[in-house]
Amino acid sequence: MLTVLGIETSCDETAASVVAGASPGPGRILSNVVASQFDAHRPYGGVVPEIAARAHAELIDSVVERALSDAGLGLSQLDGIAVTAGPGLVGGVAVGLTMGKALALASGKPLVALNHLEAHALTARLVDGVGYPYLLLLVSGGHCQLLICRGVGQFQRLGTTIDDAVGEAFDKAAKLLGLGFPGGPAVEKAACGGDPARYRLPRPMAGTEGYDFSFSGLKSAVRRHVEVTELTDEAIADLAASFQAAAVAALIDRTKAALCGPEVRAAGIKSLVVAGGVAANAALGGALRGLAEAHGVRLVVPPRGLCTDNAAMVAWAGIERLEAGLSDGLAAPARARWPLDARMAGIAGAKA
């Protein structure tokens, strides 16, 4: 069993956590501290990179100190330091990575410079101990991918968004409807009282060959309705519900295609895992449960607090990497882009 401190600063959450455990899990979360920046970004309707980086610099010391205090441990009692090194807003990533390097140097503990997406991908093992391989639907503000997870550092990307991530689409829809930031929870709340059949919105890429996603057309359709609709409370609720239904339908269509595809069948996959901030959406969760049941696979959804960005997932991924004998030097760079599937790393324009 290893005990690792995780640090996460890739977007607008300054987070630190101490986790103990051994693969395949589940692990034990000894502390999990998350400092949100929602109030700082809310006036702008989205995350402002400069504001985020400044906030990370102001918060990182106290967040790490509290995580260690809550766990009742000092640096000398840890087996390693794991920190997000990308992909993300590079200013924020640099803040957390610098802190991780400093702690590793001061304590003499190994450093694990992590891909943020791998941390999301392995969260299901932290909470459930799900075995490899499994199919992962990764849905967040910056990412929308389907991957086969075969082991630590072994990811095969089946599909990705060709334009916008689904979480970004939720944020834009919320802004168009005047629902505020963050958009995902705001749209979900408004949709609870709405009619999802009132507005006919597209299901991008539905029924097409392959497993890629697209959400820019869905955002544009919402904008067109907003421009010609009197935005009463009822209309806002109905548009929110219609948008959510369309986004969920698109995600389910692409995931179903992957479950039926030759890659998943050949891998002998028995589990479907969903991760990322949008995984907390109840409508998506319900639809995925039905899909998993229909295809005879087990659905694993982490608790809501571990779907959004957090450092417990980073610490756990650090445990798995250290167990595999993998660590990084102090020259590890901060990366704005970092495809999880290594085959994509050399492709110009490849999305993280």
One domain for residues 168 and 278:
yes
**pTM exceeds 0.85, yes or no:** yes
Crossing angle between the packed helical segments 166-176 and 233-259, to the nearest 10 degrees: 170
What domain range is 203 assigned to?
131-304
Measured CA to CA, the distance from residue 309 to residue 306 in angstroms comes to 7
Two tokens, residue 181: 């930031």
Measured CA to CA, the distance from residue 122 to residue 154 in angstroms comes to 11
Digitized pLDDT (tens) for each residue of the chain, 352 residues in all: 999 999 999 988 999 999 999 999 999 999 999 998 878 888 777 788 899 999 999 999 999 999 999 999 999 999 999 999 999 999 999 999 999 999 999 999 999 999 999 999 999 999 999 999 999 999 988 889 999 999 999 999 999 999 999 999 999 999 999 998 889 999 999 999 999 999 999 998 998 999 999 999 999 999 999 999 999 999 999 999 999 999 999 999 999 999 999 999 999 999 999 999 899 999 999 999 999 999 999 999 999 899 989 999 999 999 999 999 999 999 999 999 998 887 765 443 445 5
One domain for residues 246 and 236:
yes
One domain for residues 225 and 151:
yes
One domain for residues 202 and 311:
no
**Residue 352, domain member (yes or no):** no
One domain for residues 177 and 296:
yes
Helical segments of the chain, H only: 38-41, 49-71, 90-107, 116-128, 166-176, 183-191, 216-228, 233-259, 262-267, 282-294, 304-307, 312-323
Domain count for the chain, please give it. 2
One domain for residues 287 and 147:
yes
The CATH number that applies at residue 86 is: 3.30.420.40
Sheet containing 13-21, strands listed edge to edge, beginning at the edge strand earlier in sequence? 28-36, 13-21, 2-8, 80-86, 111-115
One domain for residues 240 and 318:
no
**Residue 351, domain member (yes or no):** no
One domain for residues 268 and 298:
yes
**Residue 110, domain member (yes or no):** yes
One domain for residues 328 and 211:
no
**Residue 328, domain member (yes or no):** yes
CB 337 within 8 A of CB 115: no
One domain for residues 291 and 328:
no
**Residue 323, domain member (yes or no):** yes
Measured CA to CA, the distance from residue 334 to residue 324 in angstroms comes to 22
**Residue 76, domain member (yes or no):** yes
Q: How far is CA 175 from the centre of its chain?
A: 21
**Residue 350, domain member (yes or no):** no
**Residue 51, domain member (yes or no):** yes
One domain for residues 325 and 230:
no
Q: How many angstroms separate the Cα of 317 from the Cα of each of 14, 124, 275, 280?
A: 18, 11, 14, 20
One domain for residues 300 and 323:
no
